[in-house]
Structure 1
Amino acid sequence: MKWAILGAGNIANDFARSFKTDKAELYAVASRSKEKAAAFADQYKIPVSYGSYEEMLADATIDAVYIATPHSHHYKQIKQCLNAGKHVFSEKVMVTSGVQLDEVIQLAADKNLYLAEAMTIFHVPLYPKLKQWIAEHDLGKLKYIHAPYGAFKPEDSPMYFYKPELAGGALFDIGTYALTFALEFMTSQPDEILTFGNLHETGVDETSVILLKNKEKELATITLSFGTDLPHVGVVAFQKGYLEIPGYTRANQATFTDLQGNKTVIETTDTAHAFTHEINNFTNMVLEKGANPTLAKTKNVMTIMDTVRAEWGLVYPFD
Structure 2
Amino acid sequence: MLQIVAYLVAVLAMPVALAQLPELDLPSTVSGGSTTARFFGGASADDGLTYSSTFEYDQAIDINMEILVESGHVNTVGNIYVLIVWDDVYFMRLESGAYEIWDLSLEDLQAAFPTKTLQASEAINIVNDVAFGPAGVSDTTLALYLAYDSIAAAGEIFYSGSALLVTIGAEQQSSSSLQLYNTNISSIIQNNCIMCHKTGGAAASSALHYVDSSSTNFQTTNYNTLVNYINNLLGGAVERPGAAMGPATNGSSLLLSKPQGTNHGGGIQLMTGSQDLQKLQNFVNSVLSE
- What interval of TM-score do these two structures reach, taking the shorter chain for normalisation? under 0.3
TM-score, structure 1 normalization: 0.17
* Bigger Rg, which one: 2
TM-score, normalisation: structure 2:
0.19
Which fold has the larger relative contact order, with Cα–Cα distance below 8 Å and residues 6 or more apart in sequence?
1
Looking at secondary structure, tell me which structure has more helix per residue.
1
